[in-house]
Amino acid sequence: MYKVAVIGGGSWGTTLANLIAEEGHEVRLWVREEQVCEEIRTQRINRMFLPGVSLSDRLLPSNDLAEVLDRRDLILMVVPSHVFRDVLERMKGHVSENAIILSATKGIENGTLMLMSDIVADVLHGFPKERFGCLAGPSFAKEVSRHYPTAITVACKDQQKAIRLQEFLYRQYFRIYVSQDVVGVQLAGALKNVIAIAAGACDGLGFGHNARAALITRGLAEITRLGVAMGANPLTFAGLSGMGDLVLTCTGDLSRNRSVGLEIGKGKSIAEITKSMTMVAEGVKTARSAYALGKRYGVDMPITEQVYQILYEGKDPKSAVRDLMTRTLKSELDG
């Protein structure tokens, strides 16, 4: 039995908090927006991020991080990757001595190129790696909140802790698999968002199912290449956090990253698209980090490179597709 704090009141944070609260556990939820916090408290709903879902009375929202973290031994981090460090800095001094930090954030920090596990170690000096875990896998918050069957992965270097988390989070509609590949699961969860932007752009350009299938397959190949270069288990990328999440994010209508790609394919600029969005599409920022990681490790990542050039150098999407299709011919298993 854990005393749970969930940090982040967006769609996924609210869903995970409610999933735990529905089982009779008291869950404290840190919400940045005062209006959202008050609405959850008084009306038991989060209209901005999770409309149409009634929230458990045992889900306790607050704008006060210290209050939410007080004597909590399981902390779920569900904030966007670009604010992960800032929020963690504000948490310093309030994290219980034996707490487990479980990240459901999918991203890579710009500039430092750190995974969320690296940021935790950097900010919370001396925080044991064995008490960090991550969640990833094909899971739209809207569907989980409605108890649609879903399967994801929880990864932790300490297998016994991973099993405890598996048992704690498991529901009849929410199946959990265990992994010890913390690096691989985090990379897979972050990088699939970049490929989803490319897949959406292909759909927006009207290129059909063949192009999308090719992008997903070759996208997985370059994600795996980078993962292996960074010490991940290649089999992770054939699993739920790899192929599973990649397929969902590249094809699902609820995918924010695919939606960004769709609009790019239709001719809109990234500035226009992001200005109109309420929720974060992680792939936009991750594309910058993924491109830089590929260069750092000398890994060929042609799709990621084209997405980066479209987002940050103004490249025309049709030209990006042409450049991908006319690259030097090679064996499918190269690299």
CA distance 294 to 62: 40
Nearest 5°: the CA angle 63, 65, 67 is: 90
In a domain, 331, yes or no: no
Burial status of residue 220 (CB atoms within 10 A of its CB: 0-12, 13-18, 19 or more): buried
Residues 134, 116: contact at Cβ < 8 Å?
Answer: yes
193, 164: one domain: no
Whether 192 is a known active-site residue: answer yes
Q: Model-level pTM?
A: 0.96
Per-residue pLDDT of the chain (335 residues; tens, 9 = 90+): 799 999 999 999 999 999 999 999 999 999 999 999 999 999 999 999 999 999 999 999 999 999 999 999 999 999 999 999 999 999 999 999 999 999 999 999 999 999 999 999 999 998 999 999 999 999 999 999 999 999 999 999 999 999 999 999 999 999 999 999 999 999 999 999 999 999 999 999 999 999 999 999 999 999 999 999 999 999 999 999 999 999 999 999 999 999 999 999 999 999 889 888 777 789 999 999 999 999 999 999 999 999 999 999 999 999 999 999 999 999 998 76
Nearest CA-CA partner of 9 in 71, 57, 62, 86: 62
Task: Please pick, among 106, 157, 161, 192, the residue that the annotation labels catalytic.
Answer: 192
157, 60: one domain: yes
Nearest CA-CA partner of 241 in 296, 174, 184: 184
H runs (alpha helix) in 237-281:
245-251, 256-265, 270-275
CB atoms closer than 10 angstroms to residue 198:
32
Residue 12 sits in a domain of what CATH number? 3.40.50.720
Answer with the one of 164, 180, 196 that is the final residue of a domain.
180
Question: Residue 4: beta bridge partners?
Answer: 27, 74
Residues 84, 119: contact at Cβ < 8 Å?
Answer: yes
Range of the domain at 66: 4-180
84, 232: one domain: no
Instruction: Give the type of residue at 120.
Output: V
Residue 189 sits in a domain of what CATH number? 1.10.1040.10
206, 149: one domain: no
219, 174: one domain: no
In a domain, 122, yes or no: yes
Regarding beta strands 74-77 and 100-103, do their DSSP bridges make them parallel or antiparallel, or are they unpaired?
parallel
